Amino acid sequence: MSFISFGYVLLFGVSWLGYFLLPGVARSVLLLGVGLLLYSWGSWLYFVLLAFSILASYGFGRMVRPGSRFWFGLAVMVNLAPLAFFKYGHFLQGFFHPISSGSATVYLLPAGISFYTFQALSYLTDIRRGQIAPCRNLLDYSLFHSFFPQLVAGPVERAGHLLPQIRAVRKQAIYDASATVRGLELILLGFFKKMVLADSFALMADPAFGNPGVAGGGYLWFATYAFAFQIYFDFSGYIDIGRGSAACLGIRLVENFQAPYRASSLGDFWRRWNITIGTWFRDYVYIPLGGNRQGPWRRGLAVLATFALSGLWHGASWTFVGWGIFHGIFFLLERIWQKLPRWSCVILTFHLVCAGWILFRADSFSSAWLILEKIGSWLPAFLFEPPVAAFSEIEAKLLWGGNSLLVWGLAVGVLFFEAGTGSRLAKFVFSRRLPRFVLYYLALLTIWLVSPFAGKQFIYFQF
């Protein structure tokens, strides 16, 4: 069940009331039940896979000891098996045994399987490293593994941070008015990002990437910007709703975004974008491969391997692998321009990220190359010809017609505040009741009037 549904709002409201009314263990049972219900909504297979992942990682967690190899290796293989089959089965089938599309096996990709599998792997790895003790209470571990605000698309929590909060659920539910207000604000912001911004930018980007052969270079250029905004507001909107839902229950989830488009390098970008996945690959892939302890060549190979695996984690396609390697290459080369003024580094980094998004969004390498080729041929013409000739009538209507200009302006405004540039104004608004409630009303009104109500699923649900 999606966050952007009446069913979720209703179920969350009921679970919030029950959380503060029920005693002790019943609270944990309630939250676990809600998580299983939300995840398995529409397919019993989702429930079976999640239950298998919970029981396997819990059981192996009891057997893994610091430094052990056999049980840890077996635990990793068992936990990765469903992910490998459902997410990479078709990819591996085509790689080892090329087949025609007509005879290909159809694999159902369970939502969020990459996220909860990686959370289980981090739990097992931290036990093996002696950083945490195994959880001995099955109810606590099950709730940690399937906590509904972050189950499907993160953030990927570490056991050392989330498990103590999960254990506290059984002891006492303390109502914190300020945490609830902050949680509701995050939920509203998440709905605004998804319904007003992300879904509106999708209407601009989808036609261009869906048929790049017909789209003009100028439209493709701005459609790339639109997708960059779409994927950020889509993903961070989900995270905001999840973190807000958890905050209302007195549980603090880690931040997953910190103004990523303000980054001055790709390294800085990955410290701001999908932070929990970035740190996961750093701690469990890059550092074990040698990290910064090796010479420059070994470090370079470790960087490229880590980014390639990160790309593959996003999707079973060579374009995702190429996207990861693209980031790895420019991550290694970024020192070349680091002596430039910060503002120019930010602009350059943003456009490198956008170039990477073309690979990420395109259906194939040939489509990505066609888009880049068209943009490259359009730029000189744009500089020496009137801008009105740069877009067809339909393209101009998609990018600038209707509510589009308002959406671009609202997106820049949200980025402006999230980057901290508007902190004084934000402090003024949120420290006074009247301006705050006016802002709430305007946000709800904008959702009602501007949102296309497209019902589009969150992008990262497919990962």
Instruction: Tokens for 223, please give them.
Output: 């459609």
CB neighbours of residue 383 within 10 Å: 8
Peptide bond into 155 cis (omega under 30): yes
Instruction: Tokens for 414, please give them.
Output: 């949200």
Sequence-ordered list of residues with C-beta below 8 angstroms from that of 251, at least 6 positions apart, any chain: 147, 149, 162, 165, 166, 169
Sequence-ordered list of residues with C-beta below 8 angstroms from that of 41, at least 6 positions apart, any chain: 1, 7
Q: Are the CB atoms for 11 and 37 separated by under 8 Å? A: yes
- Measured CA to CA in angstroms, residue 3 lies from 40, 188, 373 at distances of 14, 12, 38
Work out the angle between the directed axes of helices 433-450 and 404-418 (0-180°, nearest 10): 140
* Gyration radius (Cα) of the chain, Å: 23
How far apart are the two ends of the chain, measured CA to CA in Å?
16
Alpha carbon distance 163, 142 (integer Å):
10
Burial of 407 (0-12, 13-18, 19+ CB in 10 A): buried
Alpha carbon distance 237, 239 (integer Å):
5
Give the catalytic positions in this structure. 314
Sequential DSSP letters for 397-458: HHHHTTTHHHHHHHHHHHHHHHTTTTHHHHHHHHTSHHHHHHHHHHHHHHHHHH-----PPP
Q: Are the CB atoms for 53 and 82 separated by under 8 Å? A: yes
- Which candidate, 64, 10, 11, 69, places its Cα nearest to that of 36? 11
Alpha carbon distance 282, 259 (integer Å):
20
Burial 78-106 (b: 16+ CB within 10 A, else e): bbeebbeebbbbbbeeeeeeeeeeeeeee
Burial of 148 (0-12, 13-18, 19+ CB in 10 A): buried
Alpha carbon distance 335, 43 (integer Å):
48
Alpha carbon distance 20, 244 (integer Å):
17
